[in-house]
Chain A
């Protein structure tokens, strides 16, 4: 689905001004632990959306490593100015959704967004 549709499904706000809303996003990954993002994120980063409550700049650095397609902050959390600037520099679109993480994931899953990794080995 397009980033525009994700915005609309979640009544989210795009906070990086000139983000490419036509960008195709196929996968989602939700975590509040960057350790988990680094250990488990897979697949095509450019088509992956990270759903998180972490608003520190580190989330952008981690996102940059995976060439993430976009990051959406849940629970209406707004990132710091430093995080926002870093996202703009690295051309990672940022969105803010009013819903809690469960609801955010549920709505996107219902609309066909796939998990970036379905199951962990030995999990």
Chain B
């Protein structure tokens, strides 16, 4: 995982309210607008925003509250999402495409297909997911700016 905290040129943290479905996507939209204003390439913005959107949805759908932090460094973008909530009992199982514990309410809104975590992995260069059942979840992902191998 990309370190070198001293290289961080920009950092902003956003609060995410669990269960607030109506504003779902608002924070990743803000992330996108920050990256767009900063002039990053479209593909970098898209990958980061998609991963941020999925992560934001996960907090809204499954946690009580959380926060999403965006870090911009010269060579990478990093997003850290920490939440307090039920957590993920089996991280490996949750990473599997199609596996979902979504409620009817979540599905009604067009989410909960069990694609979120794998979509984050697909769109990022590094991803770390840890969770303590009953406590919360910690997700970090990195997108390198000099390595655009991914779609």
Given contacts A36-B115, A38-B119, A65-B50, whether A58 and B110 have CB atoms under 8 Å apart is yes
B29 touches A32 (CB 8 A): no
A90 vs B29: C-alpha distance in the bound complex, in angstroms? 10
**Measured between C-beta atoms, what is the minimum distance from B104 to chain A in Å?**
14
A61 vs B42: C-alpha distance in the bound complex, in angstroms? 17
How many chain B residues sit at the interface, stated as a range, is: 20 to 34
Q: Which residues of B contact A54 (CB under 8 A)?
A: 109-110
Within 8 Å of chain A (Cβ to Cβ): is B116?
yes
B111 touches A34 (CB 8 A): yes
B112 touches A35 (CB 8 A): yes
**Measured between C-beta atoms, what is the minimum distance from A83 to chain B in Å?**
10
- Which residues of A does B touch, CB under 8 Å? 31-36, 38-39, 42, 45, 54, 56-62, 64-67, 82, 90
- Which residues of B does A touch, CB under 8 Å? 21-26, 28-29, 32, 42, 46, 49-50, 53-54, 109-116, 119, 122, 151
